[in-house]
Structure 1
């Protein structure tokens, strides 16, 4: 066992994987990841991985099921090729919103996905900003949970926005928004909302003063954009002078980018955990790279060093 560090990627976000590899000053491992004519996922590892420390970079973004199967089959291939350790690097964890039952006869899909990753043969997981931190407990293997808020806060701080106030778009994200507020030295406001059905939200009330201030909505992900746009409208109606948005994962499902482009948001800042289409720039979406952070985490895991410094 030589313990060499090897980085591989599926088709979910090869650009991020390539950037991580450049930060580590190594080349991506060689592998064929495609489909057979019948639509089944095809994987063939071209490099010798026996005794190696393998990291598979694959966010489970759209198409979620396909990218999940690529990840599972790649993990199985590395395990069968006698890799010493296989770490699933999942910058964006799909099915994270299905982490609990909201009514009878519903699955807990986030737990099922955790079971599948472990059964495929992963020894540990490296991820970023899980929608529900409790998902860490779904795994029976070590989970390293990175945070993008320091990177996003640094960007917002460099804008030197006048009289900023950080806004949580729901009560569940108050802790996240408060930590962000502390990093940039701003006030805090909270929007209370309800979800009459999945992917829809209605604003009920707001706590905090935003009149004459620059509002920064902070969330972990942007999916349909409905919550974000309605929050922005509420803030402007309450007298905010401008509204920005920050989120780790830019899912932008369906026509979300068009809706954001037509909204009053000055800028929407996301990371590259999920690859963004060329139309994102036209919607005033700014993408910040998390590759250096993931590269540092991978090197620390490889050398059995603490990751605590990355969480501060």
Structure 2
């Protein structure tokens, strides 16, 4: 009889807690132990990255768990070197599970003589021997087209919808979903449809990168519990100012649901001192001590969704089924 190839997980150093949680979830779903492949991913004194896999992976279906978050270059190189090590060890297939895809904001040329770094990273990933990518909430969906290999892009909105329906139970008629800019309208509209809420937009105009000259609210938010939806929160300057503008326009509360909590520099302090009642992020990026200690920042887990997506890829079933709230509801029962 042919041998059944089991899915095997290997993790870099970017987000070990999430990797461990995914393995634990897969063990629960399969009714058998699924652990992380024993390996070392370390640095020499000159900061060169070295990878050694201690287990036999010949002919195995390998999944590398690695966000390319801060430090982006180190984590990206870890991913590429792990892929090379597995390819040279005769793994049957290598899938990169990248909860947060770094460099995604460099997806087009904004002015003359600038790179399209997201395309460069896509080329590097494919050349390293990776045959499939699983990620979540790409900053720009067209990045999927930068790859000549299959890309599965999961969405956080079904998970956010479940969380909102639980935490705003009985108050959903007062909820309004807000896009913090015109470019994010599609993402905000998707969540608004899931919870049957109206949509508003904060139109922002920038004088130069990092500075916002003017903000205008499109839509009546008077008496509403506003939920700002976005994919990335970096320094939180735009987010906190948008919350302030909404409160000034009559909103009773402002919450934010952001997929990737980059939260660099003064971000945590800004969020803590802002008018926002809560900021909800996923664990696609490992939370720092400051994030964990912040009283108005909450983290929702993505391990149940990623574990199921990995199993679906492994056994050749639909990944897009995880876009539906009805599918994710049982997976997240008792978690949110």
Q: TM-score, normalised by structure 2?
A: 0.91
Deviation string 1:195-222 (CA, Å, 9 cap, x unpaired) is 3333333443221110111100000110
Q: Cα distance 1:203–1:218, how it changes in 2: closer, same or farther (>3 A)?
A: farther
Question: CA separation in 1, counterparts of 2:64 and 2:9?
Answer: 6
Task: Name the counterpart of 1:208.
Answer: 219
User: Do the aligned residues in 1 keep the contact of 2:206 with 2:214 (CA within 8 Å)?
Assistant: no
Question: CA separation in 1, counterparts of 2:208 and 2:65?
Answer: 33
Q: 2:22 aligns with which of 20, 23, 29?
A: 20
User: Do the aligned residues in 2 keep the contact of 1:2 with 1:51 (CA within 8 Å)?
Assistant: no
Task: Name the counterpart of 2:81.
Answer: 73
Ranges in structure 2 where 5+ consecutive residues have no aligned partner: 28-33, 325-336
User: Do the aligned residues in 1 keep the contact of 2:255 with 2:277 (CA within 8 Å)?
Assistant: yes
Q: 2:304 aligns with which of 288, 292, 304?
A: 292
| Count of residues paired in the alignment | 312
User: Do the aligned residues in 1 keep the contact of 2:254 with 2:275 (CA within 8 Å)?
Assistant: yes
Quote the offset at 1:4 in angstroms: 2.5
Ranges in structure 1 where 5+ consecutive residues have no aligned partner: none
Task: Name the counterpart of 2:235.
Answer: 224
Quote the offset at 1:2 in angstroms: 5.1
The DSSP-based 3-state class of the residue aligned with 2:211 is: coil
Task: Name the counterpart of 2:187.
Answer: 176
Give runs of aligned pairs for residues 89-238 of structure 1, distance below 5 A. 89-160=97-168, 161=171, 163-238=174-249
Runs ≥4 residues deviating over 6 A: none
Q: TM-score, normalised by structure 1?
A: 0.97
Question: CA separation in 1, counterparts of 2:235 and 2:320?
Answer: 33
Question: CA separation in 1, counterparts of 2:144 and 2:281?
Answer: 23
Deviation string 1:245-270 (CA, Å, 9 cap, x unpaired) is 00110000111000110101000000
Question: CA separation in 2, counterparts of 1:198 and 1:231?
Answer: 16
Alpha-carbon RMSD across the aligned residues, in angstroms, is 1.2
Aligned: 1:310 with 2:322: yes
Quote the offset at 1:174 in angstroms: 0.6
Task: Name the counterpart of 1:33.
Answer: 41
Q: Cα distance 1:27–1:298, how it changes in 2: closer, same or farther (>3 A)?
A: same
Question: CA separation in 2, counterparts of 1:307 and 1:201?
Answer: 38
Q: Cα distance 1:156–1:202, how it changes in 2: closer, same or farther (>3 A)?
A: farther
Question: CA separation in 2, counterparts of 1:241 and 1:259?
Answer: 20
Question: CA separation in 2, counterparts of 1:232 and 1:134?
Answer: 29
Question: CA separation in 2, counterparts of 1:199 and 1:306?
Answer: 40
User: Do the aligned residues in 2 keep the contact of 1:203 with 1:230 (CA within 8 Å)?
Assistant: no
The DSSP-based 3-state class of the residue aligned with 1:195 is: strand
The DSSP-based 3-state class of the residue aligned with 1:201 is: strand
Question: CA separation in 2, counterparts of 1:243 and 1:204?
Answer: 16
- Which deviates more from structure 2 when the two are superposed, residues 203-212 or residues 240-249? 203-212
Quote the offset at 1:278 in angstroms: 2.5
User: Do the aligned residues in 1 keep the contact of 2:215 with 2:245 (CA within 8 Å)?
Assistant: no
